[in-house]
Amino acid sequence: MEGSSKVIHAIYTDDDVLMAAVKKVRAERYHIEEIYTPFPVHGLDKVMGLAPTRLAITSFLYGLVGLVVSIVMINYMMIEDWPQNIGGKPSFSYLENMPAFVPIMFELTVFFAAHLMVITFYLRSRLWPFKEAENPDIRTTDDHFLIEISAGTNVDEQFDILRNTGAVEVTLIDKAH
Amino acid sequence: MYTISNRLKTFSIILIVLGVLGVAYGFMTSQKSLEEVKTMLVEEHAHTEDTEISVAEHAESAAPTGTEHADVSHDDEHAAHVQEQLAKRPWSALYVSALFFMTIALGVLAFYAIQVASQAGWSPVLFRVMEAISAYLLPGAIIVILLAVGSHFIGHHNEIFIWMNPEVVADDKLIQNKSGYLNITAFLIRAIIFIAGWSLYQYFARKFSIAQDNAEPGDKRNFKKSFRIAAGFLVFFIYTESIMSWDWIMSVDPHWFSTLFGWYVFSGMIVAGVTVIAMLTIYLKGKGLLPLVNDSHIHDLAKYMFGFSIFWAYLWFSQFMLIWYANIPEEVVYFAARIEHYKLPFFGMLVLNFVFPFLVLMHSDYKRVPWFVMMGGVIILVGHYVDLFVMIMPATVVDRWYIGIPEIGSILLLGGLFMLVVFTSLSKAPLTPKGNPFIKESENFHY
């Protein structure tokens, strides 16, 4: 499997050209390994055919966890463990004193939903401090767009197609080295 | 151009006729003589005597009265009280419904002004729908005022606002101190200012909007004019809406006051207003009359319904929790009375206005499904009605409440009128504004 480690990098300088190129490349049934852009290109994920994110669903579930944590915690501390009379607030049951607990329930729900979702995002997108940057070309963080497709058996034909889509640079890269 | 279908017209007229019958029935059965009320109370008492609790309560309350004579006069007083509450029921039922539809129109007008003033790019294709709904504002607000004042001048001791009753005020130091503000003349003057201001804006906004349709291409004068008056109206609105909520709603309990009440009422009216916009839009789109509206517009409206429902819940809770927490007797009576006699509607509306919309409208995909938004809308509207019901009824009929013929009749009567006014107004102008500079953006709006 000599060819499998080889990829082709096509560089573009305009996001509209990039979008058209992605459509073309997908129509030619070449597999897009990755696209590097300096900023979010609206609609790129749809054109690439990426599956929608499930991050919002995880966030909802984390929020539920936070809500349960807050309820269990407050119920244990304020009602079961040491039900004191604090300023005449009824501590006989959770429901009776519920309004006083709502601010904490709300905040913990938001806290869990937000933080755990962010951590999930970091884990899933493999982001952490001291992580080695992965961009193949430093210009993709500034003003260039890069499509990476795996090189097939007929590299010349792939080069032609990519050049025709408006790529300013097309290079063959051997990832093995 | 929309033409009101005959079926719709007949339907709303049927609603009005049924409503009139229901309301008439309510008024006929509400007038009871003192003797009738007394026998009714005795019967009720005999009915509840079986349970142990009521016996115990009876023994407790009977003990301090002492002599036979005191007992009789106490009974008389109580019966007179109940008689008044019964007489107030059809008035209050009508008043709650009148407020319900008036606040929808006012909420829509405020939302419309916000859209114009913020130069929103997504909403211009919905402007005619909003303009049509806010056309109900003038008749709706006049009906509210006629009921408020009419309940004082028509009939005996059945006013919705007890501060209008001179006999009550004579014995009440607290209301006397407020009589500089709470008197019928001042109430009417303020009402006239509010209604005039709102209707003037409604009239001119509509006029400039239609004038912009017929303007030469490139002529944006009417658009600029509607922008300016929208900004001015929003300033006027936020003052008058606040004062309106004290006058028309909070003063049913003249002993009670709350500072965020105006906001609370506003949050209820804007969520109901956006809901009605969404429902009417879906209806018209279903008929193929709004070809430019796509599911992103529905999505945006549903997001507003979702957001404003939470805003409503936030204000409801802020008001409730602050008063519950501090538990100052003069403030807490408001909620004590509601929790004692209106437990189900009081907490039920929290489910209707917050929990259901929160869960139903949270998922992004569901906000694009018309029948889903319709379902959420029905829940929100029922919740908004119950919200107003719990604001007004505990002050007028106290524990003599029921959602029966007078209440449903009132909803049908004013609902029919609302439909008639809104659809008639809808048929008076093309459903898509042509000359709005943002119409192209709105057509292509995609979320």
DSSP B119-160: T-SS-GGGHHHHHHHHTTHHHHHHHHHHHHHHHHHSSSS--S
Which residue from B317, B327, B364 is facing A102, i.e. has the nearest CB?
B317
What span, in angstroms and rounded, lies between the C-alpha atoms of B199 and B196? 5
A11 backbone dihedrals φ, ψ, rounded to 5°:
-105, 135
- CB within 8 Å of chain A, chain B residues 262-321: 317, 320-321
pLDDT, one tens digit per residue, over A8-41 is 999 999 999 999 999 999 998 888 999 999 999 9
Cβ separation of B364 and A56 shorter than 8 Å?
A: yes
pLDDT, one tens digit per residue, over A73-114 is 999 999 999 999 999 999 999 999 999 999 999 999 999 999
User: B149: number of CA atoms within 13 Å, CB side?
Assistant: 15
CATH number of the domain that residue A158 is part of = 3.30.70.260
Phi-psi domain of B433 (left: phi exceeds 0; alpha: psi -120 through 50; beta: other)? beta
Kindly report the length of chain B. Answer: 447
- CB within 8 Å of chain B, chain A residues 37-56: 56
Cβ separation of B320 and A88 shorter than 8 Å?
A: no
Which residue from B325, B362, B364 is facing A100, i.e. has the nearest CB?
B325
Predicted pLDDT at B72? 63
* Closest approach of A39 to chain B, Cα-based (Å): 19
Cβ separation of A88 and B327 shorter than 8 Å?
A: yes
Q: Is residue A86 part of a domain?
A: yes
Which residue from A56, A60, A99 is facing B324, i.e. has the nearest CB?
A99
pLDDT, one tens digit per residue, over B7-24 is 999 999 999 999 999 999
Question: Nearest chain A Cα to B320, which residue?
Answer: A99
Give, for all 447 residues of chain B, the pLDDT tens digit.
788 888 999 999 999 999 999 999 999 988 878 888 888 888 887 776 555 444 444 444 444 444 455 566 777 888 888 888 888 999 999 999 999 999 999 999 999 999 999 999 999 999 999 999 999 999 999 999 999 999 999 888 888 999 999 988 999 999 999 999 999 999 999 999 999 999 999 999 999 999 998 888 888 899 999 999 999 999 999 999 999 999 999 999 999 999 999 999 999 999 999 999 999 999 999 998 998 999 999 999 999 999 999 999 999 999 999 999 999 999 999 999 999 999 999 999 999 999 999 999 999 899 999 999 999 999 999 999 999 999 999 999 988 899 999 999 999 999 999 999 999 999 998 998 888 889 889 988 887
Q: Using an 8 Å CB-CB cutoff, list chain A residues near B362.
A: 60
Phi-psi domain of B163 (left: phi exceeds 0; alpha: psi -120 through 50; beta: other)? alpha
Q: Is B61 on the interface with A (CB under 8 A)?
A: no
Alpha helix positions (H), chain A: 15-27, 44-48, 55-74, 98-124, 155-164
Domain match, A68 and A9 both: no
Cβ separation of B325 and A102 shorter than 8 Å?
A: no
Buried b (16+ CB within 10 A) or exposed e, B63-100: eeeeeeeeeeeeeeeebeebbbbbbbbbbbbbbbbbbb
What span, in angstroms and rounded, lies between the C-alpha atoms of B100 and B96? 6
Cβ separation of A100 and B321 shorter than 8 Å?
A: yes
Predicted pLDDT at A177? 55
Q: Is B359 on the interface with A (CB under 8 A)?
A: no
Domain match, A32 and A92 both: no
Cβ separation of A99 and B317 shorter than 8 Å?
A: yes
Predicted pLDDT at B63? 45
pLDDT, one tens digit per residue, over B274-296 is 999 999 999 999 998 998 999 99
Q: Is residue A30 part of a domain?
A: yes
Q: Is residue A130 part of a domain?
A: no
Q: Is A61 on the interface with B (CB under 8 A)?
A: no
What span, in angstroms and rounded, lies between the C-alpha atoms of B396 and B89? 7
Q: Is residue A75 part of a domain?
A: yes
What span, in angstroms and rounded, lies between the C-alpha atoms of B19 and B238? 33
What span, in angstroms and rounded, lies between the C-alpha atoms of A69 and A61? 12
Cβ separation of B325 and A99 shorter than 8 Å?
A: yes
Domain match, A30 and A61 both: no
The total domain count for chain A is 2
Q: Is A99 on the interface with B (CB under 8 A)?
A: yes
Neighbours of B401 (CB within 10 A): 21
Q: Is A60 on the interface with B (CB under 8 A)?
A: yes
* Closest approach of B368 to chain A, Cα-based (Å): 16
Q: Is A88 on the interface with B (CB under 8 A)?
A: yes
Q: Is residue A14 part of a domain?
A: yes
Which residue from A56, A60, A99 is facing B320, i.e. has the nearest CB?
A99
Which residue from A60, A88, A99 is facing B321, i.e. has the nearest CB?
A99
Amino acid making up residue B176: Q
Are B88 and B158 a contacting pair, CB within 8 Å?
A: yes
Phi-psi domain of B398 (left: phi exceeds 0; alpha: psi -120 through 50; beta: other)? left
Q: Is residue A113 part of a domain?
A: yes
Q: Is B324 on the interface with A (CB under 8 A)?
A: yes
Predicted pLDDT at B238? 95
* Closest approach of B367 to chain A, Cα-based (Å): 15
Structural domain range at position A109: 55-124
Kindly report the length of chain A. Answer: 177
Q: Using an 8 Å CB-CB cutoff, list chain B residues near A100.
A: 321, 325
User: How many A/B residue pairs have CB atoms within 8 Å?
Assistant: 12
Domain match, A119 and A62 both: yes
Domain match, A101 and A60 both: yes
Is residue A63 pLDDT above 70, yes or no? yes
Q: Is residue A69 part of a domain?
A: yes
pTM, entire model: 0.91
Question: Nearest chain A Cα to B321, which residue?
Answer: A99
